[in-house]
Amino acid sequence: MVDIPTTVKNKGLVEKRRRQIVLAAIKLFAKNGFHKTTLKELAAEANLSYGNIYDYVGSKEDIFFLIHDFLAGSAMDIINRSIENIQDPIDKLRRMVRAEFNLMDQWADALLLIYQESHILKGDFLRKLLQKERQHLGKFEKVIAECVAAGRLNDCDLRLTANLIKSMIDSWVIKRWDLRNHVNQLDAERMILEIIFNGLSRDKQALAALPQTFDDLQGKTVLVLNGGTVLGQAICSAFLANGGRLIVHGHNWNGGDGKPGNGSGQSCCAPVYVMDGQVQLTPAKMQDIEDQYGPIDIYIHDLGMGMESESAAGVGGQAMSALDDNMRHAHDLANYLRERMSARRAGRIVYLAPWAWDRYADAVRFETAKAGAIALSQVMSKDMAAAGVNVNCIVPGYIRASRPLKIEKAFKSEVAEEIPSGRLGELFDVIAAVFFLIGDGSKYLTGQVFNVTGGLT
């Protein structure tokens, strides 16, 4: 247990006392609730004096973090022990599922508390909590990757699969009000393993006929510029999940390390190359990339600044610089794309205009950049249509991120009244438009403007 200041220098004593406090807090928080439990009551339950408890923690928030730290440590210990000296990856996965269930059964009240009150933690504490969760899921991802590599499971998105398995296990606690008098732990464990290894459908033809979300991109090379925005990241993830050989140019892109693969068994889920968006991508650099990785089949350029926080509203000059730089970048590469893709007589180009949240930075520059994106795509489409290269533009409206953005929280009610559909869009709405425009279903579409705005003009 670390990161909480203490006045006691004896580390062993700190560990002992904090464990007393954690166990007392789990009991009282589960019984009375986090907010109604006082530090005085916690001190009494932990067999400490009220004054003495402040030698080990400073607040109830500190204690809440210690509870999570304690549970995270317990989870890692029990998982590591469960697969110690086990070689078969399927057996490892089975044992990890059982270990998780044992943890759930032992610390059900504490785990439910974490789910219900995780909003309490802010700043560094929240980041550390999420880091520990990521490490926990990483254990599952590693074993799933081993199963895939051994040919025991189908190829899959490791992160998504690990999260789905963990969510099914967590339901034993989250949905205990409905499950505990209906099935026992072994029944739940057996059903989850049945779903993982065999699925539930007996109709294999129906299973094979399930619609695919997007066209297969196997063998195609995709270049995404400005891939560090919220939209850019989501589009990159979709390309990776569907087999595209992804090259990313983007500031603050956090999906990979810029090397082929990432050593995690996710060769299909890592970009082949990542470039820092602060470094200008020139035609000469594009030529180097194509020489190394082959011709660019699909070119996606997000021309927005990807504004995420209301604190950036009205930044004026900064918005002007960001939006102008993106448009200038697109212009600089236009002739290269026109020449190379036309010579190959193949390729798809999609320009993304700034999303509607960028309007709050500078309304005039936003409208100018949006008009520029549309004009560029239409001029390029006319020049390249005879060569069979499609160029289209997407205008994203007010789009929700996977986690609510600060700007979304600040202006959601205001913008919802403007949108004819009465709601914000989803990342998937933009991704689906991108995949339609690069897929076989849009062979005869070029120079088009797709307003993914819920009817907003």
Instruction: Tell me the per-residue pLDDT of 331-383, one tens digit each, with 9 for 90 and over.
Output: 999 999 999 999 999 899 999 999 999 998 888 889 999 999 999 999 999 99
Gyration radius of the chain's alpha carbons: 26
pLDDT of residue 216: 62
Tell me if 71 sits within 8 A of 129, measured CB to CB.
no
The pLDDT confidence band at residue 1, using thresholds 50, 70 and 90, is: very low
The residue among 195, 196, 192 whose CA lies nearest residue 101 is 192
Indicate the average pLDDT of the chain. 84
What integer pLDDT is reported at residue 261 of this predicted model? Answer: 35
Lowest mean pLDDT among 178-182, 310-314, 453-457: 310-314
Determine contact, residues 304/354, Cβ cutoff 8 Å.
yes
Check residue 45 and give its pLDDT. 84
Band the pLDDT of 267: cuts 50, 70, 90. very low
* Reported confidence tier of residue 119, pLDDT bands at 50, 70, 90: low
pLDDT of residue 262: 32
Distance from C-alpha of 147 to C-alpha of 436, rounded to nearest angstrom: 33
Closest CA to 377 of 440, 330, 443: 330
**pLDDT value of residue 409:** 86
As a whole-number percent, the residues of the chain with pLDDT over 90 amount to 36
Q: 318 or 425: which carries more pLDDT confidence?
A: 425
Please state, as a whole number, how many other Cβ atoms lie within 10 Å of the Cβ of residue 325.
15
Banded pLDDT at 165 (limits 50, 70, 90): very high
Spatial separation of the C-alpha atoms in residues 405 and 264, rounded to whole Å: 29
DSSP state of 199: -
Predicted pLDDT of residue 399 = 94
Q: What is the pLDDT of residue 214?
A: 60
Burial of 31 (0-12, 13-18, 19+ CB in 10 A): exposed
> In the structure, what pLDDT confidence band is assigned to residue 269 with cuts at 50, 70 and 90?
low
Q: What is the pLDDT of residue 34?
A: 77
Pick the residue with more confidence: 88 or 61?
A: 88
What is the C-alpha separation between 403 and 391, in angstroms, rounded? 31
At position 9, the amino acid (one-letter code) is K
Quick one: pLDDT at residue 138?
A: 93
Nearest CA-CA partner of 245 in 225, 264, 269: 269
Give me 81's structure tokens: 């022990």
pLDDT at 335: 94
Structure tokens given for 128 = 């550390």
Q: What is the pLDDT of residue 404?
A: 81
For the purposes of burial, counting CB atoms within 10 Å of the CB of 103, is it exposed (0-12), middle (13-18) or buried (19 or more)?
A: buried
